[in-house]
Structure 1
Amino acid sequence: MTPEHTTGARHTPTGHTPTGHTPTGHTPTGQAPTGPTPARHTGTTVSHNLLTDQPALYEARFPDPERLAGRWAEDSLRRYGAGPRVLDLGCGTGRDAAHLHRAGRAVTGADLSDAMLEYARAHHPGPRYVRADLRSFDLGEGTFDAVVCLDSALLYCRTNDELDGLLASCRRALAPGGLLVAEMRNGAYHLGRTDLLGTPVQHTFTWRGTVHRSTTTLWIDRAAQLLRRRRIWRADDGSPPVEQCSAWRLLFPQELRYVLARHGFEVLGLDDGPGPRTEPPWHEGAGRPGTADGDRLHVTARRTASTTN
């Protein structure tokens, strides 16, 4: 969830920003949105992911100067004794991959966006950056001690087949006993709650002297079990508005436990925070309560010797 969508509930983001991760280029192409349809604006340009195409704009819109997400990920890896070889899946601009690298880990950042990878190599050097599709990738068998998947990147697997492909790929990439650490939206939060849905939310920020304004609307596509987003971007430089549509799979805690077990992962921790996108935010020494009611979900799972398929 982007920070303009705040709830006031425990462990919800108020001003805490995405982590520099992108959905590895997985935009909702070919998906006809269902739900509210705002009036079309004459001259509007349709973009599948405006910020993925402009990584510098992404970091300006979603700054993380304290590297909160990277620090949380490193804390999770240390907490469960992960080895040094880490895959940052959906690494985006590379901020978190670079933080893990500075913490002494051998990091590979993977993303499907060429623009993001080019930016990461130039602005966040240290990790090895590779192009990969999170829905199905092969970076070698047993190559990593941990896979980190932040900022709901896992939820861009919108179908069961895509989710199976991601988890099978992660299992193949991990050494025996390796960890999967993921941070994402919590589908269970939307059971009986509508505070984030339907009402357009506006946000304004300035980048390189240009004022950018976004109007964002969220709604639930129940048949597909997706949270859909339509965002209209406007800038005061005379350029036409840009419309961006996205969607995330809504996974529930027990559903996530089940699918992880099917792919040979033992869940070590599953909770709603504190985390890098919660309020109050995570900090060093923060406990993990074991509840799963907030709008963010944090999971750590270990690769076991066999699957239950």
Structure 2
Amino acid sequence: MTATVSGHGSTGGGAGDNLLTDRPELYEAQFPDPQRLAARWAEDVLCRHAAGPRLLDAGCGTGRDAAWLHHHGRHGRGRRVTGFDLSPAMLAHARAHHPGPEYLAADLRGFDLGRCVFDAVLCLDSALLYCHSNDELAGFLASCRRHLAPGGLLIAEMRNGAYFLGRTDLLDAPRTRSLTWQGVTRTSVTTLWVDRAAQLLRRRRVWTADDGSPPVEQHSAWRLLFPQELRQVLRTAGFRVLELHDGPGPRTDPPWRPGGEPGAAAPSPDGPADGDRLHLVARAA
């Protein structure tokens, strides 16, 4: 028997369990970042654009990045970080294992944090793409504007919809990945396909384990946004795009490296946007 669950993951809505977001330790084992490269990349962007200390991590997940930025950002002085997520398990894990920031429960697609004002909003790991419809995307951007100080930044890292124009390398065959966690070897088989009418990249992931537990099938999806479309959406929402390019970034190959390290390279603000990851910096007008 196969149990089937669905949902947007840790940032959107959707009922049902999720093997990774309901088990944050397993999530961190599946997607390790021991060097905190994602947080360090974000800090580099924040410093290059002279962002103030108040930071909102939208879709903070396990809290790894939020905590690093809270304690080590701003040249070691730390930032005042608030993170929010929709997964109770992720929030509990963040508070217990990555303390420092304030962690709140909120929906990415429309959030109201009262009178909180931030100098920047950070949205990593394609979290922005859990806004599947135009209304959901508009709700996210309006919420960001409401909580950003004048001239505040929106920084996002995500899949690039343009990558799938004429390319099928990520779609041609399922991808299999295994890891051993708490003495159990779990194997995931992931299949991606493009839902053109909905402009979504859909994902089906089936988990099996060697402990005799039944397979678990999960479904999720990301909005496929194209660079020029994203520029227009941001302009309409009251943002001015400062950077929009395909890297280097924390998820590119090769990945971004801090200045001074071998392989370090500064992105061009108007560089190519052809790779499989898209990196955005926009300022609230």
Could you tell me the TM-score, scaled by structure 2's length? 0.91
Q: Which residue is equivalent to 1:207?
A: 181
- Out of 225, 228, 231, the position equivalent to 1:254 is 228
Q: Which residue is equivalent to 1:6?
A: none
8 A contact 1:25–1:52 mirrored in 2: no
SS of match in other structure, 1:138: coil
- Out of 110, 123, 145, the position equivalent to 2:119 is 145
- Report runs of 4+ in structure 1 exceeding 6 Å deviation: none
**Counterpart Cα distance in 2 of 1:83 and 1:23:** 30
- Kindly provide the CA deviation profile for residues 57-91 of structure 1, in whole angstroms up to 9, marking residues without a partner as x: 10111110000000001111001010000000000
8 A contact 1:201–1:216 mirrored in 2: yes
**Counterpart Cα distance in 2 of 1:90 and 1:58:** 14
Q: Which amino acid letter does the alignment assign opposite residue 132 of structure 2?
A: R
Q: Which residue is equivalent to 1:272?
A: 246
Q: Which amino acid letter does the alignment assign opposite residue 299 of structure 1?
A: L
Q: Which amino acid letter does the alignment assign opposite residue 264 of structure 1?
A: G
Q: Which residue is equivalent to 1:17?
A: none
Q: Please report how far the alpha carbon of residue 209 of structure 1 lies from its aligned counterpart in structure 2 after TM superposition.
A: 1.1
Q: Which amino acid letter does the alignment assign opposite residue 112 of structure 1?
A: L
- Out of 193, 208, 225, the position equivalent to 2:199 is 225
- Kindly provide the CA deviation profile for residues 81-131 of structure 1, in whole angstroms up to 9, marking residues without a partner as x: 100000000000000000110121000010010100000000000000000
8 A contact 1:142–1:175 mirrored in 2: no
8 A contact 2:13–2:107 mirrored in 1: no
- Out of 201, 208, 215, the position equivalent to 1:241 is 215
Structure 1: state its 5+ residue gaps.
Answer: 1-21, 30-46, 305-309
Higher relative contact order (CA 8 A, sep 6+): 1
Does residue 24 in structure 1 map to residue 3 in structure 2? Answer: no
8 A contact 1:210–1:236 mirrored in 2: yes
Q: Which residue is equivalent to 1:95?
A: 64
Q: Which amino acid letter does the alignment assign opposite residue 157 of structure 2?
A: E
**Counterpart Cα distance in 1 of 2:66 and 2:155:** 13
Q: Which residue is equivalent to 2:138?
A: 164
Q: Please report how far the alpha carbon of residue 28 of structure 1 lies from its aligned counterpart in structure 2 after TM superposition.
A: 5.8
Q: Which residue is equivalent to 1:307?
A: none
8 A contact 2:13–2:86 mirrored in 1: no
**Counterpart Cα distance in 1 of 2:203 and 2:240:** 32
Q: Please report how far the alpha carbon of residue 25 of structure 1 lies from its aligned counterpart in structure 2 after TM superposition.
A: 4.1
Could you tell me the TM-score, scaled by structure 1's length? 0.84
When residues 25 and 301 of structure 1 are mapped into structure 2, their CA distance, relative to the original with a 3 A threshold, is closer
Structure 2: state its 5+ residue gaps.
Answer: 1-7, 260-264
**Root mean square deviation, CA, Å:** 1.3
